[in-house]
Structure 1
Amino acid sequence: MTGLLEHRPALRPDILLSPPLLDGPATVHLVKDPVSGASFEIGPKEHFLVSRLDGSRSLAEIGAEYGRAFGRRLGEGNWQQLLALLGSRRLLAGGPPPPAPAPPGPPLTGGLLRGTLRLVADADATTARLHRALRPLLHPAVLALLLLGCLAMEAVLAASFGELAASLWWLLRQPVPLLAVATLMWLSTALHEFAHGVAARHVGGTVGEIGLRWRLPVAIMYCTVDNYRFLDRRRHQLAVAAAGAFANLLFLVPFCLWWAALPPDDDATRRTLGALLLLGSVQALVNLIPLPPLDGYTMLGHGLRVTRLAPASSGYLRLRMRDRTAAAAYPPHARRLYLGYGIGSAVLVLLLAAVLTGAVWYAATA
């Protein structure tokens, strides 16, 4: 046993460990092998041990730290079990090499009505090139100025809501301008996805895939960020999630300047731009609502350090109605969070339905 405790094992340096995440009544950490893509969950005690396997500390030293933190010593069997698990998953430095990643599937999957088309062979390299080109714009001072500009634009548009709503009602009866606005909105959606990827690269994330996904008659771009859950800083996770809506607002700025510069008697162009500005603003702001699968929901999960927020809240509320004793076993902060989100999301859905009904009535009678 002494020989085992003197051993100084180390995780492979590329292994990813997530911050603590609330998952139902439990707190978990995610462990991911970026080579194979395999991931699994561990508890706080296991994370305490795994995160200290850096090759500089012996198992005896880590065990002493564990004893001080949790009030119990680890036996030889505990260490053997943990090291066997890590070894079988090829996560230890100096052990067998990790399995080669599975080759990418065919770029085109699915059929005519629904499917996916991968557009680039190396999404991470493509996003890295975009990031290098856009890096001057990603300085915090520049981003702050751009954000202020977007907020000023939204204030102006909010003050002109009546005109914009009337423009949208007009647009719905004009096929040619409607097609032009729909095309621009689709382009804004594509920029939204690329913005997630560029933001991920900027804060140390990686991008797994860029492609086109369709469920006819709808076809949209997508950008998959692989390791946002493993970013150390919460603000970096929030930035990646918010980048898409920010890009949608930036896309509208030149059109807003054009709209503002037009005289009131330039009827068709001003109305077309007004409708675009209203639809684009709704697209960006709706994405910030904390309901799945929107970006605002992802941001809330990052901010609260919780995974599967909506299903976990639903599960807790069902359990609370069925068995209050079992629900009381949840930690106090989990009970508050899940109850608050369950009630808040229901109220939010009702408010959104009321706002949408009011907006339709206002546009129809304006």
Structure 2
Amino acid sequence: MSSAASLTTANRRPIPLQVRDDLIFERIEYLGISYWVVKDPVGLKYFRLQPEQYHALQLLNGDRHLEELRDALHDELPTVRLQLSDIQHLITDLHQKGLVFSNRIGQGASLAKLNFEEKKKKLFNTMRSLLYVRLPGWDPEAVLARLYPLVRWIYHPTTVTLTLLFVISSWVLLAVQFDTFTAQMPEFQQFFSWPNLLYLWITLGTCKVIHEFGHGLSCKHFGGECHAMGVMLLVFSPCLYCDVSDSWMLKSKWQRIAIGAAGMYIEVVISAIAIYIWWNTQSGLIHHLCLNIFFVTTITTVIWNANPLMRFDGYYMMSDFLEIPNLRPKADRLLRDWFGWYCLGIEAKPDPFMPESGRAGFVMFAIAAGLYRWFILAAIMVFLYTVLKPYGLQSIGIALAVVSIVTILFNLVLNIYKQVTAPRIEPLSRPKIAISLGLLVTVIACTMAVPLPLHIEAMFLIEPHDVRHVYTPVPGRLENRPVQPGDQVTFGQTLATLTNPALALEQLRLEQQEKVQLIRVSVANALEDRSREELARANRESARTQLSEFQKQIERMTITAPCAGTVVA
């Protein structure tokens, strides 16, 4: 009795929390269901609330107790039946979001703790993702306010139409001249080596700065605000980020989609300009930089920004188009619930904020996004390894790969551990765990059994067995080669014949010199001049010796087979 009485007393105790007066609310419909977007003008945070969350927030005045709050919510939302425990969870969530304040002592310490936990979480998220580092920024609202009047004309429908026609014409030009374009593309190592790598970094940084200003100016155009812009390192390349979360306050989803697409729109225009400059310039620095601009704006748009599987522009555009707020968190949550039920036997707690239909689609989206994240990580690691290898720094790429993989696996194991150790009434399903572990072991065994190629680069020389190298020490020009690789030859068969005009002329000179000395011998003999006869005979013998040596060299210019066999090369 005492426990029930104390519980009743606690439920009737006033809730010491009140809604903040400075909050800005906007009612927005998603798939015909009204949501309330709340803007915290102090912390520049935005929250999307369900109707029951919004009404519970509005009913918090510091005097109502739980039962009064429940009855008031039932009056406001007759079709929604909430238990006292559900209302307690709602109030706790609103307090953690910082949407309420307490009139009791100790509120400051609680807020300081929440602020510390948030900063620690941001720091942890930054440290665990070395390839995507977002640094603190500044408030660009004043800069955007000065720039917007100068560029307002680019949002005129006529300007947009003409720009799109210009972009399409550049694509047509690229398609027509595609062979020329691919022929001028440099090799991988040449494209990603110094100094072009420096040009790529500068090009990427410049294009991304313009990209983010496109988001900020578009948000300004549709009546939103932008209070956060800063530097971001994307795969160690300097970029800019622009927080346009204020677009959540816009009721038109097409305006939100336009803000999300503004950065890619700007990059596509830059790419089109680069294509035309590339086509109308000769080989040189400008020609080469335009090729870099086209590569950066096209590749990053397709792989990162436009892809809905990454949490960049394409993801938010698809989320707004489908009118499914928090698409990725919901998909991840449903995937965890499916894993917990089918692999561990953990029944998911009912959540009124999760979708009731199309859950299989959410799960498939979460799986596809996870696989694509692994694919992008592998592609980045291979890219870094390939770029750093010529400089002997491939170990840096390997270290980054190991750190990234270990971080992802650690987070995966940590989430499973939290899911398993969470308090529950029902025990885990041993049969499901056994089947899941058996499947996991089978997959690992099959994966380990698949042979993977191991490539090692080294210098080597291949020679056939019992090969006989055939060569001549006499220089010359190949005149005749009667045999080809693969032909069968016999001992002494001619393999090649060389010619050397210098040797031939020297042979002719020695032959004439021998004849001259022979005549001199005859003349000296006729004159009975013994000394001259001996000198002529000595000169003739020297000429004959030299002629014999030259004849041997000429014979060596005819290369013959030292043995029977097959010609290799």
TM-score range, shorter chain: 0.5 to 0.7
**Amino-acid identity (%):** 22
8 Å Cα contact 1:18/1:229 also seen in 2: no
Deviation digits for residues 166-199 of structure 1 (CA, Å, limit 9, x no counterpart): 5443451663444334322321111011111001
Give the equivalent residue in structure 2 for 1:16: 25
Helix, strand or coil: the match of 2:265? helix
Aligned to 2:151: 134
Task: Output the CA distance in 2 between the equivalents of 1:151 and 1:354.
Answer: 33
Pick the structure with greater CA Rg: 2
Partner SS state of residue 240, structure 2: strand
- Aligned mates of 1:275, 1:216 — CA distance in 2: 17
Query: Is 2:23–2:39's contact at 8 Å kept on the other side of the alignment?
Result: no
Q: Following the alignment from structure 2 to structure 1, what is the Cα–Cα distance between the partners of residues 46 and 379?
A: 42
Asked if residue 252 in structure 1 is aligned to residue 252 in structure 2, the reply is no
Aligned to 2:50: 43
Alignment coverage as a number of residue pairs: 308
Q: Whole-Å Cα distance in 2 between the matches of residues 68 and 115 of structure 1?
A: 42
2:318 to 287, 300, 304: 300
Structure 2: how far apart are the matches of 1:245 and 1:355?
22
Q: Is the partner of 1:290 in helix, strand or coil?
A: coil
Q: CA offset at residue 152 of structure 1?
A: 3.2
Distance in 2 (CA, whole Å) between partners of 1:272 and 1:89 is 53
**1:147 and 2:164 correspond:** yes
8 A Cα contact 1:20 1:44, kept in partner: no
Residue 280 of structure 1 pairs with residue 287 of structure 2: no
Matched, 1:333 2:333: no
Determine if the alignment matches structure 1 residue 34 to structure 2 residue 41.
yes
Match of 1:199 among 204, 218, 238: 218
Equivalent position of 2:334 in the other structure: 316
Cα distance in 2 for partners of 1:72, 1:291 equals 34
- Is contact 1:16-1:34 (8 Å) kept? no
Relative contact order higher in (CA < 8 Å, ≥ 6 apart) = 1
Residue matched to 1:57: none
Quote the residue 1:93 is aligned against: none
2:309 corresponds, among 278, 291, 295, to 291
The 3 A distance-change label for structure 1 pair 236 and 11 is farther
Change (3 A) 1:322 1:212: closer
Task: Identify if the C-alpha distance between structure 1 residues 20 and 206 changes in structure 2 by more than 3 Å, giving closer, same or farther.
Answer: same
User: TM-score, length-normalised on structure 2?
Assistant: 0.44
- Asked whether the 8 Å contact 1:172–1:178 carries over to 2, the reply is yes
SS in 2 for 1:207: coil
Q: Distance in 1 between matches of 2:56 and 2:281?
A: 65
Structure 2 residue identity aligned to 1:238: I
Alpha-carbon distance in 2 for matches of 1:343, 1:163? 40
Which residue number in structure 1 is paired with residue 209 of structure 2?
190
Which segments of 5 or more consecutive residues in structure 2 lack a partner in the other structure? 1-18, 59-70, 82-86, 102-114, 116-122, 381-569
Output one character per residue of 1:4-33: Cα deviation in whole Å (capped at 9) or x when no partner: xxxxxx9969713353569xxx99644223
Whether the aligned pair in 1 keeps the contact of 2:203 and 2:292 (CA below 8 Å) is no
Report the alpha carbon displacement of residue 216 of structure 1 after superposing the two structures with TM: 8.8
The equivalent residue for 1:55 is none
The RMSD of aligned alpha carbons is 4.9
Query: Secondary structure of 1:219's partner?
Result: strand
Q: In structure 1, how many angstroms separate the alpha carbons of the residues matched to 2:337 and 2:44?
A: 34
Which residue pairs with 1:227 in the alignment? 246
Per-residue CA shift, 1:48-97, capped at 9, x if unaligned? Answer: 7989xxxxxxxxxxx99x96973599xxxx9xx99xx99x848xxxxxxx
Counterpart contact for 1:190–1:220, Cα < 8 Å: yes
